[in-house]
Structure 1
C-alpha cells in the first residue's frame, strides 16, 4: 500500500505506532532503526545487513502490550513473485542483525 494513502504508516521520521491494526512490509529500508519505548525508559537500536532491506511491522493497535518489528530479506509472498535469492545446491547466504538496548 502506498504511504501517501497511509501517512500514519510513514516511519521515515520518529512516529508512534498507528492507532489501528497494522501488518505491512516496508521495502527499501536502510537497515537502521530506533525503537523508543518511553514508558519503559529504553531505546532499542537496530542495525541490519544490507540484505535485510525490508521490514515487517505488525501491531494490533497502539495500546497493545506488544508489536513485532522483523527485518527480512524479501517482501511477503516473494516465492510467488520475485525478490528471493536463488542459491545453487550447497550454496549459502548470510545476514546479520544487531540489537542494542539503552536507557533513555
Structure 2
C-alpha cells in the first residue's frame, strides 16, 4: 500500500524533455512533489521521434494531464525551458 502523503495544497511539477538528435529518439521525465518535497509521482516516457522542443512541450502536457485532478489545481506555472517560456499557450 502507498503511504499517505500530506500537504497537497501546493504541488511542484518538474518536467523535462529531450531528444537524441533533433529530431531524434525523444523522451520525457516528470517528478511531482508536494510542498514538503515528498515525491507524489514520477513518470518517464519514450515519445517516439520528435524534436527537443516538442519533447519539452509534451513533458508539461503529459504532467498536467496525468496528475490526478483531486491532487492539483494549477495556480502558477513557472518554466525554466525557453521553448515553454515562449510558447503561445494560454495556460502558460
TM-score, length-scaled by structure 1:
0.27
Rg comparison, structure with higher value: 1
| Greater helix content | 2
